[in-house]
Copies of this chain bind each other. A is one copy, B any other.
Amino acid sequence: MPEMMKAAVFVEPGRITLDDKPMPDVGPNDALIRITTTTICGTDVHILKGEYPVAKGLTVGHEPVGTIEKLGRNVSGYEEGQRVIAGAICPSGYSNACLDGLHAQDGQSGPHGLKPMGGWRFGNTIDGTQAEFVLVPDAMANLAPVPDGLSDDQVLMCPDIMSTGFAGAESGNIKIGDTVAVFAQGPIGLCATAGAKLRGATTIIAVETVPERADVAKQVGADIVVDFNKTDPVDEIMRLTDGRGVDVAIEALGLQSTFENCLKILKPGGTLSSLGVYADDLTIPLAAFNAGLGDQTIVTSLCPGGKERMRRLMNVIVSERLDLTPLVTHRYGLDQIEEAYEMFANQRDGVLKVAITP
């Protein structure tokens, strides 16, 4: 093992640069992973811009695909050299939150074991994955072996966007025969569309204006794509549903306008499943909320993590239920990370996701 490694670190708002860092010490419950592929997430862009604060000097990124370099002395059931992924969210397994099923809100050993978003550690509270190596905490809860025959690209979306997007469909408790609308078809929204199909929704209405995204939406499950630049999406969805509204509306952007539109097209008794990361207070319009009497639900989901989730998601890929490799539109070496951020943050060139390879 080398003594130093390359890592993309947050320097200050507006600046993430490649730097040399010492190799981390491997604690007893940790595993050191040699990253073979990682990617950039919209959240990383918020970090870059200083909109979401992290410590200066932190390595960013939270989507690891790689091989086991070294195992902590308490970690069993794995072997060095094995190909693995880990979720963006790394639950400890032992906190009160985890034991209560709230793995993403894991406070680890705090007094009551709950912490908002506490399971999100990579590139947030500990060094992340845009580096040559990353330390996976609580490795036995988090390392998921990659099935033979799957490429890095095939599993690259599992740690975050596939898990998050699917959670939108799952938290909406979609039933066979449901009508579902998904607002925005970025990477998360596309995965929500795919998840809605996997859960049995039979009328899936995607809202998107970028033609390339609309095309991918149809490939992964949308029955109809509504272009909000050509028609009012609320009017159009109410028309498409004969005035009934949708059973489940999935918000995958993080804006007041899409949040509000979700409510406006939601049937009484329906569920707004929210995936977006919001930057401001939200307003619930009284009429769309039926003054609080509509038996409606608003549910938010943070990316489910842990090795069992990863195992299940990779099984979706193995069984050819879904192919997310079309989302990898661009590729960069780790040494081009600044260029990659520049392109991704500005959504140039029809980018959906970039593969970063150290």
Which residues of A line the B interface, CB within 8 A? 28-29, 73-74, 76-77, 91-105, 109-118, 138, 140-141, 166, 170, 175-179, 195, 198-200, 202-203, 223, 241-245, 254, 267-269, 274-286, 289-302, 306-309, 311-313, 315-316, 318-319, 321
Whose C-beta in chain B lies nearest to the C-beta of A29?
B74
Taking CB atoms, residues of chain B closer than 8 Å to A177 are 311-313, 315-316
With the chains together, A198 CA to B175 CA distance in Å?
9
With the chains together, A166 CA to B175 CA distance in Å?
11
| Given A102-B295, A105-B267; 6 other pairs, CB 8 A cutoff | A74-B74, A93-B94, A105-B295, A176-B316, A177-B311, A295-B302
Whose C-beta in chain B lies nearest to the C-beta of A46?
B291
Given known contacts A93-B93, A110-B77, A292 and B306 CB-to-CB distance under 8 angstroms? no
Secondary structure call for the A interface: loop
With the chains together, A99 CA to B118 CA distance in Å?
16
- Decide if A114 touches B283 in the complex (CB within 8 Å): no
Whose C-beta in chain B lies nearest to the C-beta of A305?
B99
Residue among B111, B115, B254, B309 making CB contact with A242, cutoff 8 Å: B111
- Decide if A140 touches B109 in the complex (CB within 8 Å): yes
With the chains together, A216 CA to B175 CA distance in Å?
24
- Decide if B280 touches A286 in the complex (CB within 8 Å): yes
Whose C-beta in chain B lies nearest to the C-beta of A170?
B176
Taking CB atoms, residues of chain B closer than 8 Å to A274 are 292
Given known contacts A74-B28, A114-B269, A294 and B202 CB-to-CB distance under 8 angstroms? no
With the chains together, A309 CA to B96 CA distance in Å?
9
Taking CB atoms, residues of chain B closer than 8 Å to A101 are 101, 269
With the chains together, A280 CA to B29 CA distance in Å?
42
- Decide if A286 touches B282 in the complex (CB within 8 Å): yes
- Decide if B202 touches A97 in the complex (CB within 8 Å): no
Given known contacts A29-B74, A244-B112, A289-B278, A269 and B321 CB-to-CB distance under 8 angstroms? no
- Decide if A116 touches B321 in the complex (CB within 8 Å): no
Residue among B105, B140, B280, B291 making CB contact with A277, cutoff 8 Å: B291
